Structures are given as structure tokens and as C-alpha cells.
Amino acid sequence: MSHIFPRHCKANPPVIARGEGVYLYDQSGKQYLDGSGGAAVSCLGHGDAQVTAAIKAQLDRVAFAHTGFFTSEPAEQLADALIARAPEGIERVYLVSGGSEAMEAALKLARQYFVERGEGQRRHVIARRQSYHGNTLGALATGGNEWRRAPFAPLMVETSHIAPCYAYRGQQDGESPETYGLRVADELETEIKRLGEDSVFAFVAEPVVGATLGAVAPVPGYFKRIREICDRYGVLLILDEVMCGMGRTGTLFACEQDGVRPDIIAVAKGLGAGYQPIGAMLCSGAIYDTIASGSGFFQHGHTYVGHPTTAAAALAVLQRLTDDGLVNRAAEMGDRLKTALIEAFGDHPHVGDIRGRGLFLGLEIVQDPDSKAPFAPELAKNKALKKAAFEAGLICYPMGGTIDGRRGDHILLAPPFILEDQHIDEIVGKLQIAFDQCL
């Protein structure tokens, strides 16, 4: 009997043996194309020699030293490298162990910033429905995913949720994308006014929504309006780029493409590319300066903050992404993969939408593309597709987002940026097998 507490108690997954490039191999020798990089993690694929060498070199120097006593070269260099490439105004980096921690730190920093400014009455966070920001209690409270929240609701801080920017389902007949974007962005202002004009400390959103909607990018102008509203009411804008950041959408930070200047950004997954568990919370100079000249101490911190070995790994990942041109490659190969998906499945009787940016692509599976009616939730099409694709040797990330209160079906594709044209053919071919079996 296994003593592992598994992700799903009834699951009996194969044992992973090794990885090479875009492929993973289980102990029986079966090969899987990692079409989703796990959960949009493995942006460099498996067995990257540069990253592995950087980790080994750091282990030979020193694996860990607590930030209560020391800083480290890799942490300093990683922070410099991130800030050199971050949106204007972002000046400080706080290194953590993953995405939920990055979001937790972001929320606490935003709240502490206002407390230090004497605005402790700001205690509300506004986020969006059908969002995911992590599984720790603060991040979970921020997320708008009802079924994840339900068991823990009594333990969580109150959060308001407005509509996501989800044109496929939200844009009305005769409405332009721009008008739709402004309409849903304006829900933020309505909610701020409802809660009290000086009672909200942060608005939280993923620039491109991953886990809950399946690679849904905003319409043009949406985030510009969000920024205006945040500025009007002095609310901090926290962008969660845990999944969509680090080059996944074709630019290092996803928000670059929307021309929006956040106050705080959370990144994780692609930052460590799966080689080490690391995340980061990046914040504006203004936020940092307020705390530095106030209490001088961010009231937060985990043992592994600024961990040198994870930082050495992330620094090497960042060098591969930027110096070796892999972010640009994500943009280019993403276009090719999207084109191939549209060619293969654009007219499929159960594919409602093919969307996303860069190598962050989603397919929405529907019962009827004309009415956009989803399949009945008990059919669990996304799970069936995941299983059939896995059996065919393709890893894709299935999701059951909530559509009008019901579970819908999406598949997320987020392959390593090193993929080649033949891998695109393999992804499409294996998805076809899964579609033929399940739809």
C-alpha cells in the first residue's frame, strides 16, 4: 500500500521515470508529450542542462542560508534581472516558494501598505468570478471558483467578485469587444461604490485567465479602464501572472500586451520551470518606500523566502527565456500551434472556441457551438478528454470552469517553448484521437 496522500484518493497514476525535452516517460517506458507543461510549469521542457548545472553549482556553494541573516548572490541577481524586464514602476522582488505564496504575500503587502498610510479602513479585496489565485486561505478567498471555495467559505476573508472579461460568453450580440470590455470593467467601479469608496485595498486579476477559463485573454481596452478605476479610488492593482507570466503568452510579463502598469505582480510556475519550487511577488517602488520609511518591516515571511538554490535555478531559467530567445519562440510557436488547432478543430461540432496567446492556448468544448450550450456536467467531458489524451500519450490540462453556475469543459495547452513543428503535429493528432473517443 502506498503511503502517499495522493491528489485524488482514487487515482492510481503511473510512476514517472524520466524526462527529456518535451517528453516524459513513465516506469513502463511509455512516452508522453508534455502538452501542458504539467500545469503550465515546464516552459523549458525536461532535462535542461543549463538550469541543472546552475542548481548543482549553487548546491556545491551553499544550498540554503536564512534571509534573517543573509542575502545571496543568486537572489540578488534574480531580482535585478526581473526588475530590469518588469513593467515600469515595479522595483522590488520578494522571493517565495510558489504561486499561492506569491499571491498571499501580494495581498498582505497591499493591506499593510494602506495600514502604514493610516488607511486601515481599506479591508476589502475585489476579484473576478471564475478565477483561481491559489489554495492557501487568503488566495482561495480571492479566487472566484465556487466549488473550490465552498468547503472553506466560513474560514475565509470576505471577497467581492465581479464578472471576468470572457468575451466568448459575455459579449452580447451587436456589442463590440471594446464596449463589452468597458462594460465589464465598469463593474469594478460599481462594486467599489457599493462597498464604500475608501474601503477597498486591491483588485486582483489574471491578465490571461488560465485554470478556470482556459486561456482567456482580455479584450482591448479592458485593463486600461481597470487601471483608471483603480487610480480613481486609490485601489492597488494586483496582477496574478502565476500561470500566464514568464513568457508563456509571448512576452515575459503577460500584462505587457495590455499596456497596463500593475502595482503588484505575482509570478511562479514558469519562473522555476519545474526545476525548483519558486515564486515571486514584485511590487512598485511606491509600495516598498511606504513600508521602508514606515515600520521598515513587511510583516510576513516564510522560512524559504529568498532560497538561494531555487533562485539560482530561476536565474538560469530567466537567462534561457530571454538571452536564448525562448520568449520570442513561445510567441512564434504559439501562433503556429493555434493555427494548427484552428485548422484541425475550427469546424469541429463540439469545439466552441479556440483561444489564447503565445503558448497558452485553450479549447472550449461545448455540446452545441451555435447555442454555446455546454455538455451536462455529469458527463465530465474535460476529465474524459484528459484520460483519453493521456492514454494516447499526450498530457493536456483539463478544466471544468463554471458557466452560468454549471461546470463547463475546457482544455488548456501550454507546451514547453522548445517544441518543434513535429510536436505540433503530434499534439493535434493525439487530441484528435481523444476527441474521436470522447465527443
Number of residues that bind ligand PMP (CB under 6 A): 15
Site string for ligand PMP, 160-179 (x = CB under 6 A): --------------------
* The one among 19, 35, 74, 98 contacting ligand PMP by CB under 6 A: 98
Q: What's the min distance (Å) between Cβ of 277 and ligand PMP?
A: 8
From the list 156-164, 193-201, 239-247, 256-264, the region that binds ligand PMP by CB under 6 A is 239-247
Sheet holding 279-284, edge to edge: 90-96, 279-284, 264-267, 236-241, 200-205, 124-128, 159-162
Q: Which is nearer to ligand PMP, 112 or 142 (CB)?
A: 142
CB 293 within 8 A of CB 59: no
Q: What's the min distance (Å) between Cβ of 368 and ligand PMP?
A: 29
Q: Which is nearer to ligand PMP, 271 or 366 (CB)?
A: 271
Q: Which is nearer to ligand PMP, 216 or 424 (CB)?
A: 216
- Contact between 133 and ligand PMP (CB under 6 A)? yes
- Contact between 211 and ligand PMP (CB under 6 A)? yes
Compute φ and ψ for 209, nearest 5 degrees: -75, 125
**Residue the block writes with cell 541543472:** 52
Instruction: Please state the separation of Cα 432 from the chain's center in Å.
Output: 26
Q: What's the min distance (Å) between Cβ of 131 and ligand PMP?
A: 8
- The three-class DSSP label of residue 424 is helix
Q: Which is nearer to ligand PMP, 348 or 410 (CB)?
A: 410
- Contact between 401 and ligand PMP (CB under 6 A)? no
From the list 126-134, 322-330, 360-368, 430-438, the region that binds ligand PMP by CB under 6 A is 126-134
Q: What would the grid cell of residue 78 be?
A: 534574480
Q: Which is nearer to ligand PMP, 132 or 233 (CB)?
A: 132
- Contact between 242 and ligand PMP (CB under 6 A)? yes
Strands 409-413 and 402-403: unpaired
**Residue the block writes with cell 483519453:** 388
What b/e sequence results for 31-41 when a residue is b if at least 16 CB atoms lie within 10 Å of its CB, and e otherwise?
ebbbbbbebbb
- Contact between 210 and ligand PMP (CB under 6 A)? yes
Among 149, 229, 216, which residue's Cα sits nearest to residue 189?
229
- Contact between 268 and ligand PMP (CB under 6 A)? yes
Task: Please spell the DSSP secondary structure of 308-319, one letter per residue.
Answer: HHHHHHHHHHHH
Q: What's the min distance (Å) between Cβ of 418 and ligand PMP?
A: 22
- Contact between 245 and ligand PMP (CB under 6 A)? no
Q: Which is nearer to ligand PMP, 258 or 426 (CB)?
A: 258
* The one among 42, 72, 100, 171 contacting ligand PMP by CB under 6 A: 100
CB 125 within 8 A of CB 310: no
- Contact between 243 and ligand PMP (CB under 6 A)? yes
- Contact between 128 and ligand PMP (CB under 6 A)? no
Sign of the CA dihedral running 217, 219, 221, 225: negative
Compute φ and ψ for 172, nearest 5 degrees: -90, 160
Residue 339: which residues within 8 A CB-CB, separation 6 or more?
none
Sign of the CA dihedral running 216, 220, 223, 226: negative
Closest residue to ligand PMP using C-beta atoms: 99
Q: Return the H-helix or E-strand segment holding 29.
A: none
Residue 80: which residues within 8 A CB-CB, separation 6 or more?
none
Q: Which is nearer to ligand PMP, 145 or 309 (CB)?
A: 145
Among 139, 326, 128, 313, which residue's Cα sits nearest to residue 246?
326
For residue 254, the 8-state DSSP code is: G
Q: Which is nearer to ligand PMP, 39 or 379 (CB)?
A: 39
Rounded CA gap, 385 and 391, in Å?
Answer: 10
**Residue the block writes with cell 510536436:** 423
Compute φ and ψ for 299, nearest 5 degrees: -80, 70
Name residues contacting ligand PMP, limited to 328-387 (CB under 6 A).
none
Q: Which is nearer to ligand PMP, 211 or 424 (CB)?
A: 211
Site string for ligand PMP, 29-58 (x = CB under 6 A): ----------x-------------------
- Contact between 270 and ligand PMP (CB under 6 A)? no
**Residue the block writes with cell 469594478:** 188
From the list 186-194, 235-243, 390-398, 425-433, the region that binds ligand PMP by CB under 6 A is 235-243
Footprint of ligand PMP (CB under 6 A): 39, 98-100, 103, 132-134, 206, 210-211, 240, 242-243, 268
